[in-house]
Structure 1
Amino acid sequence: MEARVSDRSFGQQLRALRQSAGLTIEALAEASTVSGRAISDMERGRARAPQERTLVALADALELGDAARAELVELARAERSGNRVGRPRLYELPRGLGDFVGRVPELELLLRRGREAAADGPTPVVVVHGQAGVGKTACAVRAAEQLRGEFPDGQFYVDLRGTDAEPMPTVEVLDRLLRALGVKPGAIAEDEQERASQVRALLAERRCLLVLDNAADEAQVRPLLPGPGAGMAIVTSRRTLAGLETVSRIALAPLSPPESAELLRKIVRDDSARAPGGEVVEVARLCGNLPLALRIAGTRLASRPGWTMKNLAERLSDEDRRLAQLSVGDVGVEAAFALSYAVLSSRAKTLFRRLAHVPSVDFAAPIAAVLTRTDLFTAEDELDRLVELGLLQHEGADRYRFHDLIRLYATQRLREEEPAEVRAAAEQSMTDWLLETATMAGRWFEPEAGEPPAEGKGLVAIASPEEAHAWLQVERDSWLAALRLAAAAGRHEQVAGLGEAIYWFAGTMDHWSSQWVEVFALSRAAAARLPDRLGELRHLNHYAWAVLGVGRLEESAALAMEAYRLAESLGAVKEQAEAIWSAGEVWRVASNLDQALWAYSRARELADTAGAHITFLQSFVGAGLTLAGLGRVDEALREFRAVLREIDGRPVPPGMAQATRAAVQLGLARTLADAQRWQEAIDAATPALASSTEMGRRWYIGHVHLVLGRAHAALGAAEQAREHLTAGIELLQDDVVTSPRTMDEAKAQLAALGD
Structure 2
Amino acid sequence: MGFTGRSEDLDRLLPHLSPGEDDTAALPLLIFAVTGMGGVGKTALAVEVAHRARAKGWFPGGTLFVDLRGYDEDPATADQAVLALLDALGVRNANLPATTERQYDTYRALLAERRDRMLLILDNASDPAQYLPLLPGTDHHRVLITSRDRPDALPVRLIDLETLTLDDSVALVTRALHDTDERDDRPVREPEALRELADFCGHLPLALQIAAGMLRRRRHRDITSLVAEIREAGDATTVLDHGSPGTDLYGRPLVLRPVLETSYRRLPPDLARLLRLLCLAPGPETGTETIAALAGLETDVTLPLLEDLAAAHLVSSLPSADGSATGMLWRVHDLVRAFGTGVVARDAESREEGEAARERVVRFYIERAHAASGLLSGLPRDHQRPFTDRAQAVAWLDRERSGLVAAVQWAREERFADTAALLADCLARYLNWRRHFDDAIAVAHTAGKAARQAGDRRREAGVLNDLGQALSKAGRTEEAIDAYTRALDLFQTIGDRREEAGLWSNIGNALALAGQARKAIAAYTRARDLFQDIGDRYHEAMLWMSLGVALRDAGRTKKAIKACTRARSLFQAMGDGLGEAMAWGSLGNILEREGNVKEAITAHRCARALFAAAGDRYGEATEWGNVGNALHRAGRAREAIDAHGKSLEIFREFKDWYGEAVTLDNLAVAHKAARQHDQARAAHLQAADAFTRANAPTEAAQARARAAEQPE
Q: Normalising by structure 1, report the TM-score.
A: 0.73
Q: 1:515 to 1:204 in 2, by over 3 A?
A: same
Aligned-pair distance for 1:127?
0.8
Displacement after TM superposition at 1:687 (Å):
5.6
Render the CA deviation track for 1:730-754: whole Å, top value 9, x for unaligned.
Answer: 555798999x8x9998777655445
Report how far residue 212 of structure 1 moved: 0.9
Determine the structure 1 residue equivalent to 2:245. 328
Task: Tell me if structure 2 keeps the 8 A contact 1:212–1:236.
Answer: yes
- Give the CA deviation at 1:254: 2.1
Counterpart position of 1:228: 138
Asked if 1:476 is matched to 2:382, the reply is no
Pick from 376, 392, 403 the counterpart of residue 333 of structure 2: 403
Task: Please say if 1:298 is aligned against 2:212.
Answer: yes
Deviations 1:253-310 (A, max 9, x none): 2222222222223222243433326044333333222222222222333344433434
Whole-Å separation in 2 of the counterparts to 1:211 and 1:489: 54
Question: Aligned residue for 2:169?
Answer: 260
Letter in 2 for 1:470: A
Paired residue for 1:319, among 226, 234, 237? Answer: 234
What is the CA–CA distance in structure 2 between the aligned matches of 1:472 and 1:519, rounded to whole Å?
15
- Check whether the contact 1:601–1:623 (CA below 8 A) recurs between aligned residues: yes
What is the letter of the counterpart of residue 272 of structure 2? Answer: K
Q: 2 CA distance for matches of 1:439 and 1:225?
A: 57
Query: How far apart in 1 are the matches of 2:541 and 2:686?
Result: 29
Equivalent-residue separation in structure 1 for 2:679 and 2:561 (angstroms)? 26
Counterpart in 2 of 1:204?
Answer: 112
Aligned counterparts, 1:332-481, within 5 A: 332-396=255-319, 398-418=328-348, 421=352, 423-451=354-382, 462=387, 464-481=389-406
Residues 1:585 and 2:499 are matched in the alignment:
no
Tell me the secondary structure at the aligned position of residue 164 of structure 1: coil
1:211, distance to aligned residue in structure 2 (A)? 1.2
Would the alpha carbon gap of residues 253 and 582 (structure 1) be closer, same or farther in structure 2, given more than 3 Å must change? same
2:582 paired residue number: none
Q: Does 1:218 align with 2:128?
A: yes
How many Å separate the matches in 2 of 1:665 and 1:326? 64
1:627–1:708 CA distance, 2 compared to 1 (3 A): farther
SS, match of residue 275 in structure 1: helix
Counterpart residue type for residue 109 of structure 2: A
Q: 1:403 to 1:724 in 2, by over 3 A?
A: same
Unaligned ranges ≥5, structure 1: 1-96
| 1:177 and 2:85 correspond | yes
Note the C-alpha offset of 1:575.
3.9
2:590 corresponds to which residue?
none
* Conserved 8 A contact 1:356-1:411: yes
In structure 2, give the amino acid aligned to 1:364.
G
Distance 1:694 1:380 in 2: 28
With over 3 angstroms needed to count, the CA separation of the structure-2 counterparts of 1:748 and 1:471, relative to structure 1, is closer
Residue of structure 1 in register with 2:38 after alignment: 132
8 Å CA contact retained: 1:442, 1:504 = yes
Deviations along 1:144-179, one digit per CA (max 9) or x if unpaired, are: 223333333342211112112332222232344345
For 1:737 and 1:584, locate their aligned partners in 2 and report how far apart those are by CA, in whole Å: 24
Change (3 A) 1:664 1:536: farther
C-alpha displacement of 1:214: 1.0
Q: Which amino acid aligns with 2:45?
A: C
3-state SS of the aligned residue for 2:136?
Answer: coil
What is the distance in 2 between the residues matched to 1:240 and 1:537? 53
Query: Which of residues 159, 182, 185 is equivalent to 1:273?
Result: 185
> Which SS does the other structure have where 2:436 is aligned?
helix
Q: Secondary structure at the match of 1:150?
A: coil
In the alignment, structure 1 residue 142 sits paired with structure 2 residue 72? no
Q: Are the aligned partners of 1:613 and 1:652 in contact in 2 as well (CA < 8 Å)?
A: no
**1:300-348 CA deviation, whole Å, 9 max, x = no partner?**
3334443343444344444333332451124212232222223223343
Q: Distance in 2 between matches of 1:669 and 1:231?
A: 68
What is the CA-CA distance between 1:664 and the residue it aligns to? 5.8
Mapped to 2, the partners of 1:678 and 1:326 lie a distance apart of: 74
* Structure 2 residue aligned with 1:513: 437
Distance change (3 Å), C-alpha of 1:352 and 1:603: same
Show the counterpart of 1:20.
none
- How far apart, CA to CA, are the structure 2 residues paired with 1:303 and 1:748? 52
Q: CA RMSD in A?
A: 4.2
Q: Is the 8 A contact 2:316 2:330 kept in 1?
A: yes
Are the equivalent residues in 2 in contact too, given 1:134–1:254 (CA < 8 A)? yes
Aligned to 2:588: none
Q: Secondary structure at the match of 1:332?
A: coil
Distance (whole Å) between structure 2 residues aligned to residue 325 and residue 295 of structure 1: 14
Partners of 1:708 and 1:223 lie apart in 2 by 67
Q: Is the Cα–Cα contact under 8 Å of residues 725 and 750 in structure 1 kept in the other structure?
A: yes
Corresponding residue number in structure 2 for 1:61:
none
Cα separation, partners in 2 of 1:521 and 1:107, compared to 1, 3 Å: closer
Residues 628 and 523 (structure 1 numbering): CA distance in 2 closer, same or farther, change over 3 Å?
same
Displacement of 1:215 in angstroms is: 0.9
Cα distance in structure 1, aligned partners of 2:523 and 2:620: 21
Partner SS state of residue 8, structure 2: helix
Q: Is the 8 A contact 1:613 1:651 kept in 2?
A: no
- Partners of 1:526 and 1:401 in 2: how far apart? 29
Measured in 2, the distance between the counterparts of 1:549 and 1:363 equals: 28
- Report the Cα distance in structure 2 between the residues aligned to 1:380 and 1:711, rounded to whole angstroms: 49
Q: Go from structure 1 to structure 2 and tell me whether the alpha carbon gap of 1:103 and 1:274 turns closer, same or farther (over 3 Å shift).
A: same
- Identify which range, 570-579 or 104-113, moves more after superposition: 570-579
1:591 and 1:261 map into 2 onto residues whose CA distance is 47
User: Which of the two has higher C-alpha Rg?
Assistant: 1
Task: Supply the distance in 2 between the matched residues of 1:737 and 1:210 (Cα, whole angstroms).
Answer: 54
Change (3 A) 1:678 1:601: farther
Alignment map for 1:647-726 (pairs within 5 Å): 649-650=575-576, 652=578, 658-660=617-619, 677-679=634-636, 682=640, 688-689=647-648, 692-710=651-669, 713=672, 716-726=675-685
**Distance in structure 2 (CA, Å) of the matches to 1:671 and 1:282:** 52
Q: Find the aligned partners of 1:750 and 1:261 in 2 and give their Cα distance.
A: 37
1:699–1:130: structure 2 CA closer, same or farther, 3 Å change rule? closer
**What 5-or-longer segments of structure 2 have no aligned partner?**
247-252, 321-327, 580-610
**1:116 is paired with a residue of what secondary structure?**
coil
2-structure distance, mates of 1:440, 1:473: 14
| More deviation, 690-699/136-145 | 690-699
* 1:35 corresponding residue in structure 2: none
The 8 Å contact of residues 257 and 284 in structure 1, kept in 2 or not, is answered as yes
How far apart, in 1, do the equivalents of 2:309 and 2:84 lie?
32
Counterpart-to-counterpart distance in 2, 1:306 and 1:568: 62
Amino acid across the alignment from 1:253: E
Change (3 A) 1:430 1:693: closer
> SS of the residue aligned with 2:518?
helix
1:323/1:333 contact within 8 Å kept: yes
Q: Counterpart of 2:319 in structure 1: which amino acid?
A: G
TM-score, length-scaled by structure 2: 0.77
Q: Give the letter for the 1:282 counterpart.
A: E
Structure 1 residues 484 and 154: alpha-carbon distance in aligned structure 2, compared to 1, 3 A threshold: closer
Q: Which amino acid aligns with 2:16?
A: R
C-alpha contact (below 8 Å) 1:204/1:229 kept by paired residues: no
| Kept after mapping to 2: 8 A contact 1:644/1:664 | no
Amino acid at match of 1:416: R
* Range moving further from structure 2, 433-442 or 206-215: 433-442
Report the CA distance shift for 1:238/1:542 in structure 2 as closer, same or farther (over 3 A). closer
Gap change, CA 1:326 and 1:682, over 3 Å in 2: farther
Say how many residue pairs are matched.
645
